[in-house]
């Protein structure tokens, strides 16, 4: 459904991604993990057209994405969330999600339809009771869920989730993992999911890619990945760092 071949990205002399290949199959939940600075968000930024790769191509159903702009890629059916969420602070939760419905895939939606769709998405993420609350008065966890609802309201075929679990407590993480499964099962959306913490993604993703310093060091089922020597070393190396 979505594939990247030989994705390389240099920021000055720093290779944030080196010859990374990936493919995403329709209907799967694919995890992308790796220590901080591994290049995970950079890969998402390339897929959704925020930045161009130094070399390599990304194709979605045969269409080359690397020449398109983010809004065009969104309209083709790739939604995303950002690690640093930035809702429209002076709009309500509902209005934020309606924005996704109005400017997302296909356009041609009237305000009533956009509102209905946005309510459905807010319901999915459990924020119906906050729909009239201004985004500036939502806490960080609620803002993250608004962000997910806004991405779903664009009616994507694929959603890219960039660290949706960061900052959540263990209970919230369990709920969020269930939510990711429901996004796939009830909304028929294929999920590409970036997470820094390995454990959380392991129970939900069906396949995992591991990045380390911009290189793909492992790929496979969660059970295989968690036993992979290079993966364990990459994470232990990080935990051994001060702080």
Residues in the site for ligand ADP, rule: CB under 6 A?
A: 11, 14, 16, 34, 36-42
What one-character DSSP code corresponds to residue 134? Answer: B
> Taking CB under 5 A as the rule, which mask of x and - marks residues 64-93 in contact with Mg ion?
-------------------x----------
Q: Which residue number, 80 or 115, has a Cβ lying nearer to ligand ADP? A: 80
Q: Provide the minimum distance between the beta carbon of 197 and ligand ADP in the complex, in angstroms, as a whole number.
A: 12
> Which span sits near Mg ion by CB under 5 A: 37-45, 144-152, 197-205, 233-241?
37-45
Residue 51 burial (CB < 10 Å; 0-12/13-18/19+)?
A: middle
Q: Please, which residue, 41 or 190, has the CB nearer to ligand ADP?
A: 41
Q: Is 207 helix (H, G, I), strand (E, B) or coil?
A: strand
Q: Shortest approach of Mg ion to residue 84 CB, angstroms?
A: 9
Q: Which of 35, 41, 105, 205 binds Mg ion (CB under 5 A)?
A: 41
* Rounded least distance, CB 11 to ligand ADP, Å: 3
Instruction: Please choose which of ligand ADP, Mg ion, none residue 39 contacts, taking the beta carbon within 5 to 8 angstroms, the exact cut-off set by kind.
Output: ligand ADP
Smallest distance from ligand ADP to CB 173, Å? 19
Q: What share of the chain is helix, strand, coil (3-state, %, to 5)?
A: 40, 25, 35
Residue 213 CA to residue 34 CA, distance in Å, equals 9
Q: Which is nearer to ligand ADP, 6 or 27 (CB)?
A: 6
Stretch that binds Mg ion, among 36-44, 89-97, 134-142, 151-159 (CB under 5 A): 36-44
Long-range contacts of 213-219 (CB under 8 A, 24+ apart): 213/37, 213/38, 213/39, 214/9, 214/15, 214/16, 214/17, 214/18, 214/20, 214/38, 214/39, 214/42, 215/18, 215/19, 215/20, 216/20, 216/21, 216/22
Q: Which does 42 bind (CB under 5 to 8 A by kind): ligand ADP, Mg ion, none?
A: ligand ADP
Residue 161: strand, helix, or coil = strand
For the record, the structure tokens of 218 come out as: 């492992």
Q: Quick one: what does residue 70 bind among ligand ADP, Mg ion, none, with the CB cut-off 5 to 8 Å set by partner type?
A: none
Under a CB-based contact definition with an 8 Å cutoff, are residues 73 and 2 in contact? no
Among ligand ADP, Mg ion, none, partner that 94 touches (CB below 5 to 8 angstroms by kind) = none
Nearer to ligand ADP, 148 or 209 (CB): 209
Residue 214, sorted as left (phi over 0), alpha (psi -120 to 50) or beta, turns out to be: left
Interaction site with Mg ion (CB under 5 A) = 40-41, 83
């Amino acid at each position: 459904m979505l594939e990247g071949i030989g994705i390389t990205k240099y920021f000055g002399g720093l290779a944030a991604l080196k010859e990374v290949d990936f493919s995403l199959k329709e209907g799967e939940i694919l995890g992308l993990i790796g220590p901080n600075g591994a290049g995970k968000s950079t890969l998402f930024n390339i897929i959704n057209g925020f930045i161009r790769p130094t070399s390599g191509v990304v194709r979605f159903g045969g269409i080359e994405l690397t020449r398109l702009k983010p809004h065009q890629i969104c309209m083709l059916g790739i939604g995303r969330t950002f690690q640093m969420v930035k809702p429209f602070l002076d709009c309500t939760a509902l209005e934020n999600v309606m924005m996704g419905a109005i400017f997302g895939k296909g356009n041609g939606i009237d305000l009533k339809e956009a509102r209905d769709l946005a309510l459905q998405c807010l319901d999915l993420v459990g924020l119906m009771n906050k729909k009239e609350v201004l985004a500036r008065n939502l806490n960080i966890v609620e803002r993250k869920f608004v962000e997910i609802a806004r991405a779903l309201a664009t009616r994507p075929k694929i959603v890219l989730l960039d660290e949706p679990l960061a900052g959540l407590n263990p209970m919230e993480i369990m709920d969020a993992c269930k939510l990711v499964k429901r996004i796939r099962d009830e909304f028929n959306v294929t999920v590409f999911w970036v997470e820094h913490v390995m454990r959380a993604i392991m129970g939900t993703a069906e396949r995992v890619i591991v990045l380390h310093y911009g290189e793909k060091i492992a790929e496979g089922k969660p059970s295989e990945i968690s036993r992979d020597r290079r993966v364990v070393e990459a994470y232990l190396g990080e935990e051994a760092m001060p702080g």
